[in-house]
Amino acid sequence: MRNPLSNAVTEIKPSGIRKFFDIVSEMKDAISLGVGEPDFDTPWHIRAEGIHSLEKGKTFYTSNSGLMDLRREICNYLKRKQGITYDPAKEVLITVGGSEAIDIGLRAMLDPGDEVLIPQPSYVSYEPCTVLAGGVPVVINLKAENEFRLTAKELEDAITEKTKVLILPFPNNPTGAIMEKEDLEAIAEVVIKHDIFVMSDEIYSELTYKGEHVSIAALPGMQERTILINGFSKAYAMTGWRLGYACGPRVILQQMTKIHQFAIMCAPTTSQYAAIEALKNGDDDVKMMRDAYNQRRRFLVNAFREMGLECFEPYGAFYVFPCIKEFGMTSDEFATRFLEEEKVAVVPGTAFGDCGEGFLRISYAYSLENLKVAIGRFERFVKKLREEQNK
């Protein structure tokens, strides 16, 4: 029989998280600090709108781009929060999560051989999506001493004649790093100079704990060369609803909508109705959740520092990224032993790129009670490792 598979697909490595997931699911009594989604339920008034839409029989396809009311609310939101103006008719597309927007955005922009700059550590899908779109991923290894921000120098050094797109994943999963306005201005200058495009994945924008989130699309000359990606999963605790969006120049959005139309048709209708309610009346919920995350964040950073672990202060998302290099083992070895000996699951930094070696992603999307138990075990484990070293 002929090989039924595509080489391009089989050559893609499975996600580094997968392997760990398999070990964890074997252990019944393990506790986890490994999730990448909020612990809150979707606020009730948002769920109620979803239910209400079903009761009213809103069970049909929407237009390919998504409900006009939702696109308008998104535009109002971006105007209100970040001062960016988009045309809801031509510059907004509702997608199945931010993930779909990443995929079709790259497919809309790339020709074979085009290079995509991917700062790492970062979310696991940029590299495979680039490959599937025929592009060539070029990794930029971010550095702990820069608090895992992307610098203009690092960007400049990675650009070649073939560079087409820069992916800008901030606030960042897994490091929790953010890019402030000055950082973005320096990046924007290089981007404009070399005439490349930006895919700005801002899914964690509402979870910023130092000032307000700034989008690179808000900087002069950048809106016309940026696809802004955001969604409802993280801000409104709506991961299972699978709803995101992309905003950007109409020439790009038109082509993205074409792919979306053929591949997906439209994002889930129920989720779209719920999302309108989220944008209209969800500000207080976002604040409540952000405050809670912020308190846990401070608690965790403090706890790691008290253990004497190197840990830069993350100002975004819901992850802490402590350094474990002092123990002389890889992230994978550390995470595996920690799981076996203390029954706590964390994700090795290497799941998000090779330069995540020596770090762990610790999620604080857990109640404080859970965090306290887990961190107690972490402390005990660290003590044990240090005693082993001193023998």
Partner 1 sequence: MRNELLSIIEKNSRIDLKELAAMLGVGEIEVANEMAAMEREGIICGYHTLINWENTSDEKVTALIEVSVTPQTGQGFDTIAEKIYKYSEVRSVYLISGKYDLMVILEGKSLREVSNFVSEKLSALDAVLSTATHFILKKYKDHGTIFKTKTDDEREMITP
**Radius of gyration from C-alpha coordinates of the chain:** 21
Q: Which of residues 306-345 bind partner 1 (CB under 8 A)?
A: 345
28-36, 75-83, 131-139, 162-170 -> range binding partner 1 (CB under 8 A): 28-36
Q: Is 302 in the site for partner 1 (CB under 8 A)?
A: yes
Q: Binder to partner 1 among 213, 242, 260, 296 (CB under 8 A)?
A: 296
351-370 binders of partner 1 (CB under 8 A): 351, 368
Q: Which stretch binds partner 1 (CB under 8 A): 127-135, 268-276, 295-303, 380-388?
A: 295-303
Is the CB of residue 327 less than 8 Å from the CB of residue 389?
yes
Q: Using alpha carbons, select from 352, 350, 343, 342 the residue that is nearest to residue 317.
A: 352
Instruction: Determine how many CB atoms are found less than 10 A away from the CB of residue 386.
Output: 13
CB of 372 to partner 1, least distance (A): 8
> Which bin fits 6, alpha (ψ -120 to 50), beta or left (φ > 0)?
beta
What is the rounded CA–CA span in Å between residue 154 and residue 138?
12
On whether the CB atoms of residues 149 and 171 are closer than 8 A, the answer is: no
Stretch of 63-71, 161-169, 255-263, 297-305 lying at the interface with partner 1 (CB under 8 A): 297-305
User: How many residues touch partner 1 (CB under 8 A)?
Assistant: 29
Long-range contacts of 378-387 (CB under 8 A, 24+ apart): 378/303, 378/307, 378/338, 378/342, 378/344, 379/303, 379/307, 380/342, 381/337, 381/338, 381/341, 381/342, 382/307, 382/309, 384/341, 385/327
Are residues 184 and 191 in contact, defined by beta-carbon separation less than 8 angstroms?
A: no
Regarding 85 and contact with partner 1 (CB under 8 A), the answer is no
CA separation, residue 262 to residues 65, 255, 256, 259, 266 (Å):
12, 11, 10, 5, 9
Min CB(202)–partner 1 separation in Å:
17
Minimum distance from residue 54 beta carbon to partner 1 (Å): 21
From residue 253 to residue 292, what is the string marking binding to partner 1 with x (rule CB under 8 A)? --------------------------------------x-
CB of 241 vs partner 1, minimal distance in Å: 14
Q: Where are the alpha helices (DSSP H) in 56-110?
A: 68-82, 97-109
Site residues for partner 1, window 185-214 (CB under 8 A)? none
Q: Contacts with partner 1 in 99-128 (CB under 8 A)?
A: 123-125
Amino acid at 253: L
Task: Choose, by CB under 8 A, the member of 65, 82, 173, 257 that binds partner 1.
Answer: 173
Site for partner 1 in 33-62 (CB under 8 A): 34-37, 39
List interacting residues with partner 1 (CB under 8 A).
15, 17, 20-21, 24-25, 30, 32, 34-37, 39, 123-125, 173, 291, 295-296, 298-299, 302-303, 345, 347, 351, 368, 372
